[in-house]
Amino acid sequence: MQHSLIPSKRWRLSLGKGLTLAWQFALVGLLVLLAGMLSIGAWVTSNLEQGFMQNRADSTALFVDSIVSPLAQGLGTAPKLPSKDEQALAQAIQDGPLAHRIYSFKIWTRDATVAYSSDSALIGQTFELRKALRAALDGSVYAEFDRLDGKEHLVEKRSGLEFLEVYSPIRDAQTGDVIGAAEFYEPTSGFTSELHRVRMHSWLVVAAVTAAMLALLFAIVARGSVRIERQRKRLDSQVIELSRLLASNTVLRKRADEATQRTIALNERYLRRISSDLHDGPTQLLGFVIMRLEAIRKGKGRDDDDDLIKQSITAAIDEIRDLCRGLQLPELEALSGREVALRAIRAHQLFTGNEIVADLSDLDVRSHGMKICLYRFLQEVLSNASRHAMANRIVASAYMKEGALIVRVEDDGVGFQRGYEGEGLGLAGLQERAASLGGVVDIVTGGNRGTTVQMVLP
């Protein structure tokens, strides 16, 4: 029963040995937050890169538009730029302010024809209307890292460099309508390191926020885990204590059942002994009286019948009184423990005439059952010492020790062998009575060394 109530180790809040709830949360939370951090970080970084690239493209497009747009106004009336505007653009790209920022340059008409290019071989050619060019012709600045797959990118591809390809609309100065698009390639060497720095900063911010969230949540869960573990240990200790008490109660109940069975058998033996005492004593004497009276009635009496009848009746009455005196219990409830012991000793001295050496201290006996047990113990043991041991000296002592009542009777008479059939009902009854109160009775005897009987009651 005890082991069945102890919680199984399967109930422990752990995925493995020694892994508490807080660390379970830390591991699972780390995986979840790491996945979230990667997703959010990728999204944030992508948007930051796009924004950074778009801002760079917008600034470059604004700068380029301030130079190119005035020279490309001829697209509003003709599909090709005038020669003077071409020369001005070539000078601006090769030797002017655009020379240090732009690697190559194109101007597209609305039908995807190259109106001007730093690669003169492309001028006049028509190509597929790509997404980037369409966005510029619709009025937006578009930027991307181009893979340089088309034929119009042969010059840029041969350079072996990476470029930021920017498409910017060219508007009519008077109407604001889009009349073409400018395409230019800016080498990325100038802002690759800046873009890398933006990426690193974004990832560091996301990682720092994720770590702070994990630390905060771990602190909350760790506190709860400690409390749960403390309550679990307290519950385990309470269950263990409950199991111990249940086991103890089982033992006590078994002992009580056994004591009950022994008490029933002992009571039956007491009744038999009383019956035997009445049959062998008063009954025999009264039977003798009846016989003498019957003889007198028939005229066969004797001269001493009066004395014999009187003596027999007196002896029968004395024996009946002795039996009643052994069964009758005086009023003990109002007496202290020491007074109960003194009454038992004085009663014995009165009926037997034997002197008892008494060594009694103050006895903290409050239970009426314990007072009865104390009185019966002294009554029985003193009677045995006087009737059977033929002792010259009997010492009765009683005292308190560590909250227990200790009562001892010692005599210097003839001892007896333990366990023989005639050991008597009195000692067995005392042992059962003491056991019912949680106490014990010890007997030390044998040979001619006397007998010591001690009772301890908690």
d(CA 78, CA 80): 5
pLDDT at 221: 77
pLDDT at 293: 87
User: Selecting from 3.90.1170.50, 3.40.50.300, 3.30.565.10, 3.10.20.520, what CATH number does the domain 335-457 have?
Assistant: 3.30.565.10
Q: Evaluate whether 1-276 and 335-457 have a shared fold.
A: no
pLDDT at 5: 41
Hey, is 214 helix, strand or coil? helix
pLDDT at 352: 73
CATH code linked to domain 1-276: 3.30.450.20
pLDDT at 240: 92
DSSP labels, 296-336: HHTT---TTHHHHHHHHHHHHHHHHHHHHHHH-----TTS-
pLDDT at 155: 64
pLDDT at 425: 54
Residues (pLDDT < 50) of the chain are 1-16, 420-423
State the pTM of this model. Answer: 0.41
Query: What ranges do the domains of the chain cover?
Result: 1-276, 335-457
153: tokens are: 């990118």
pLDDT at 182: 84
For 45, residues 6+ apart whose C-beta sits below 8 A from its C-beta are 199, 202, 203
Can you give 96-128 as a three-state secondary structure string?
CCCCCCCCEEEEECCCCEEEEECCHHHCCCECC
pLDDT at 327: 65
Give the count of alpha carbons within 13 A of 388, CB side only.
17
